[in-house]
Structure 1
Amino acid sequence: MTRAFGISVFLLLQLCYHVDCCPKGCQCFTPSKVFCSEDVLKDMPQNLSSEVQELVIMTTSIKSIHLESFPLNSSLTKLMLLNNLLNGVSEMAFNRLLELKELEISGNHNFKVLGTGTFKRVGNLTKLLLNYNQLKTLDDSIFASLQKLEILQLKGNAIDHLPRLLFRHLRWLRSLDFSENKILTLDKDIFNSLLMLETLRMNHNLISVLHPDTFINMPHLRELGLQGNRIEDLHLNLLSGLEHLNKLHLRGNLITKIAPGTFPPNLKELNLEDNRLVELSTGVFQHMSFLTDLVLAKNRLSTIPEDVFRNLTSLQHLSLSANHLLALPAAAFTGLSNLISIHLDKNNISSVEADLFDDQEIMEKLYLSDNDLQGLPEGLFIPLISLRTVRLQGNPWKCDCHMRDFHDWLTDANLLMSDVEKIYCAKPKPLKGRGLVFLSREDLVCAESAVNNYPVSTGDKRHRTKSCSLHEMNGKVSIRCTVPRCPAVKLEVQFSDEDGRRLTFADEQKWSDSTQCNNATIILNF
């Protein structure tokens, strides 16, 4: 009886908690986790249990947070205020949240000001996220009490300046993100206290100049994001102290040149896409044997030195898309045996060397689309035994006899993704617009060149000649053959019309004396 009574009381208490005791407009999944998301909710939930440790307030009409918003003796360790209508937070609002470790106030488009003492009593915070608000300024002592902070984000605000002493107390900070603001400059001492910082993101600001000592005191930095700024020059010593830097993102700046020795040797990922690089010096990537990803797309490169990538023995992914490249040195990729993908699309490349990819046996993806290629050398794809994806469309292919090797490879290759049906002929005129893979090998013929697979039938089957040539002049096509005996010669011509139908025309000529067929002419009318 006692046991049954105890179980009944326990179930009653649970029912009370989940139905009657949970604040209005909220859901209480467990006694310690509460989620509130009702647009009619205009004030912080009342009667919040002191047992609640995680509270999420999302898409409500709450406009302000103050001291009375939270109960005395609160056990909150995590508080998230997302996409509300907040326009103000009292400097005393969090004074009762002494156990708070994670705080996020994000997506509040009317939230513009943070008081100096807002975080004074939450010294146990390890994570503070203030993303996508409209904060414009920060007092240099606003984070003074957050000496345990490890993660700080203020993405997507309207901050244009960072006070020089803003981070001086954040000695345990590991990740800092001020992306998508309006920051114009960085004081050379701004990061000096961040000895433990591992990730720094300042993407999509308005930074144009970086002092050589900006990152001098950051020995543990592994990732640096500076993409989407207005940086024109990288000082030779700017990154020299970042011995553990693995990822460097410089996409979308205005960089025109890079001196050899600029990049630290332990880099694994380097993104220089969408800058204004006109040339690469021979030693710009020297001593970077750990680099696995290099992106140079959307620059203004017309040539590259033959040995510019020579030391990148760990390189797996290389992108040179959307430059002005006309050709590639034969040894451009020599020694890069770990390459998995090469992007060479959207350039002006008109030819490639047959041995260009000789060292790329494990390469899986090759992009050569949207160039000026008319043909490819015989044997180009032989080393690429692992190739699974190839992009070749958007080139003015000349579908003649020189394309037979490529045609054979293309129809036999085991490609998973290639868009081979989009490889269209630009020349000759009868094949213009036709898909290469839909042509037969016999369709690929050359004018003014010896043809070895056009036999001429004679009256004696024991005699077959292979010395025929095809000629074209002023739109007139002729075939010239030398035959050892010609009491009878039969000429047969096959071609495809505009609808793809194969047509055959034939004629036979006989002579009573074989000497009469010297320089004989057979005319086919069709």
Structure 2
Amino acid sequence: MRSRMNIIISSGLLMTLLGSCGTSTSCPSGCSCNVNHTDCSDLNQLASLDSILDQLPFDASYLNLSNNNFTTVEPGSFSNFSDLLHLDLSRNLLSVVFPSSFSHLNKLQVLDLSENLLVRLPINLFSGLNSLTELVLRDNRLKELNPDQFKGLTELRRLDLSFNSLCSVPTHLLDGLQNLVWLSLMGNKLKTLQRTSLEPATALQQLLLDGNPWNCNCNLIPLKHWLEWIAYTGERGHLSKIFAYLSHLKHSDHQTNLNITQR
């Protein structure tokens, strides 16, 4: 009897130890941890991301870390959170990210990095995020994007690049994004936009372009003709309305009416 009891106790202890090695079930003070939903937003005293991640449930599918003071996402920071579907890092002070900052997040569907201080993104930052459907980069300080920045994001449907400092859209930036239906380039520093930059996004239905200092010259003529054709055929839903917008552009600074016409 004693021998059997020892085995049972030992087995229970073993299971406890194994469980503690593979998961975290605690919830830090100020956070809310309900089932698979973890919310650690608005804890402004938090400056180190890694210091809190080790205290969170690793089985969370939704993780809200917005409105804190995080400045850096170290490589592999979320390697224990392989079940994450939604990650919110908005309204922090992020200025440094690494190619493997979001590695192992194969199931991630939504990534919100809006309202941070990002100036440049590593080329492979989003590599491996094969399930991503929504990427929010709004309100950062991005000046340029690599043509391969979003390579491999074949499931992406919504891409928000609004209110950055982008001066151009690389020709191959949207290559492979055949499921992209919504794209915002509002509030950047775009003066022109090449038709070839948009053509790869064959499912695109909504395109937001206002708030840019457009230079309406011959460089926009190919885009104008392409959008005229879309407006005529109506083949892309809401995108057919973009031509009407581009035809009556108003410069946000000089309040000058700009018409895209052949000159």
Q: Report the TM-score when normalising by structure 1.
A: 0.39
Which residue of the other structure, out of 184, 193, 214, is the alignment partner of 1:373? Answer: 214
- Mapped to 2, the partners of 1:334 and 1:346 lie a distance apart of 23
Q: Does structure 1 retain, via aligned residues, the 8 Å contact 2:98–2:122?
A: yes
Which residue of the other structure, out of 344, 348, 363, is the alignment partner of 2:204? Answer: 363
Q: How does 1:221-240 map to 2 (within 5 A)?
A: 221-240=60-79
Q: 2:164 corresponds to which residue?
A: 323
Which residue of the other structure, out of 266, 269, 274, is the alignment partner of 2:115? Answer: 274
The DSSP-based 3-state class of the residue aligned with 1:211 is helix
- Mapped to 2, the partners of 1:258 and 1:333 lie a distance apart of 22
Q: How does 1:284-295 map to 2 (within 5 A)?
A: 284-295=125-136
Which residue of the other structure, out of 366, 373, 386, is the alignment partner of 2:236? Answer: 386
Which segments of 5 or more consecutive residues in structure 1 lack a partner in the other structure?
1-167, 181-193, 393-408, 411-417, 427-431, 438-443, 447-526
Q: 2:53 corresponds to which residue?
A: 214
State the Cα distance separating 1:234 from its structure 2 match.
1.4
- Mapped to 1, the partners of 2:251 and 2:93 lie a distance apart of 38
Distance 1:223 1:371, change over 3 A: same
The DSSP-based 3-state class of the residue aligned with 2:195 is coil
Aligned: 1:345 with 2:186: yes
- Mapped to 2, the partners of 1:278 and 1:293 lie a distance apart of 20
- Mapped to 1, the partners of 2:236 and 2:60 lie a distance apart of 36
Q: 2:14 corresponds to which residue?
A: none
Q: How does 1:182-193 map to 2 (within 5 A)?
A: none
- Mapped to 2, the partners of 1:177 and 1:367 lie a distance apart of 41
Output one character per residue of 1:459-493: Cα deviation in whole Å (capped at 9) or x when no partner.
xxxxxxxxxxxxxxxxxxxxxxxxxxxxxxxxxxx
Q: Does structure 1 retain, via aligned residues, the 8 Å contact 2:248–2:257?
A: no
Q: 1:247 corresponds to which residue?
A: 86
More strand by share: 1
RMSD of Structure 2 on Structure 1 (CA): 3.4
Q: How does 1:402-413 map to 2 (within 5 A)?
A: 410=244
- Mapped to 2, the partners of 1:258 and 1:279 lie a distance apart of 9
Which residue of the other structure, out of 34, 37, 41, is the alignment partner of 1:203? Answer: 41
Q: Does structure 2 retain, via aligned residues, the 8 Å contact 1:225–1:249?
A: yes
- The code of the aligned residue for 1:236 comes to P
Q: Does structure 1 retain, via aligned residues, the 8 Å contact 2:212–2:251?
A: no
Distance 1:253 1:391, change over 3 A: farther
Q: 2:154 corresponds to which residue?
A: 313
State the Cα distance separating 1:237 from its structure 2 match.
2.8
Output one character per residue of 1:340-386: Cα deviation in whole Å (capped at 9) or x when no partner.
10010100011222211112222111011111222324144357831
- Mapped to 2, the partners of 1:374 and 1:330 lie a distance apart of 18
The DSSP-based 3-state class of the residue aligned with 1:350 is coil
- Mapped to 1, the partners of 2:29 and 2:237 lie a distance apart of 39
Distance 1:445 1:239, change over 3 A: closer
Distance 1:386 1:177, change over 3 A: farther
- Mapped to 2, the partners of 1:445 and 1:422 lie a distance apart of 14
- Mapped to 2, the partners of 1:175 and 1:224 lie a distance apart of 12
Q: Does structure 1 retain, via aligned residues, the 8 Å contact 2:95–2:119?
A: yes
- Mapped to 2, the partners of 1:391 and 1:218 lie a distance apart of 46
Q: Does structure 2 retain, via aligned residues, the 8 Å contact 1:286–1:311?
A: yes
Q: 2:143 corresponds to which residue?
A: 302
Could you say which structure has the greater relative contact order, defined with CA pairs below 8 angstroms and 6 or more residues apart? 2
State the Cα distance separating 1:175 from its structure 2 match.
9.5
- Mapped to 1, the partners of 2:65 and 2:178 lie a distance apart of 30
State the Cα distance separating 1:435 from its structure 2 match.
7.3
The DSSP-based 3-state class of the residue aligned with 2:63 is strand
State the Cα distance separating 1:423 from its structure 2 match.
2.7
**Which of the two has higher C-alpha Rg?**
1
Output one character per residue of 1:200-235: Cα deviation in whole Å (capped at 9) or x when no partner.
101111111133673477342101100011111112
Instruction: State the number of aligned residues.
Output: 228
Which residue of the other structure, out of 195, 218, 227, is the alignment partner of 1:354? Answer: 195
- The code of the aligned residue for 1:337 comes to Q
State the Cα distance separating 1:332 from its structure 2 match.
0.6
- Mapped to 1, the partners of 2:78 and 2:141 lie a distance apart of 24
Q: How does 1:407-446 map to 2 (within 5 A)?
A: 410=244, 423-424=249-250, 433=256, 436=259, 444=261, 446=263
- Mapped to 1, the partners of 2:75 and 2:55 lie a distance apart of 13
- Mapped to 1, the partners of 2:240 and 2:162 lie a distance apart of 14
More helix by share: 2
Q: How does 1:64-143 map to 2 (within 5 A)?
A: none
- The code of the aligned residue for 1:224 comes to L
Distance 1:331 1:320, change over 3 A: same
Distance 1:250 1:240, change over 3 A: same
Q: Does structure 2 retain, via aligned residues, the 8 Å contact 1:176–1:200?
A: no
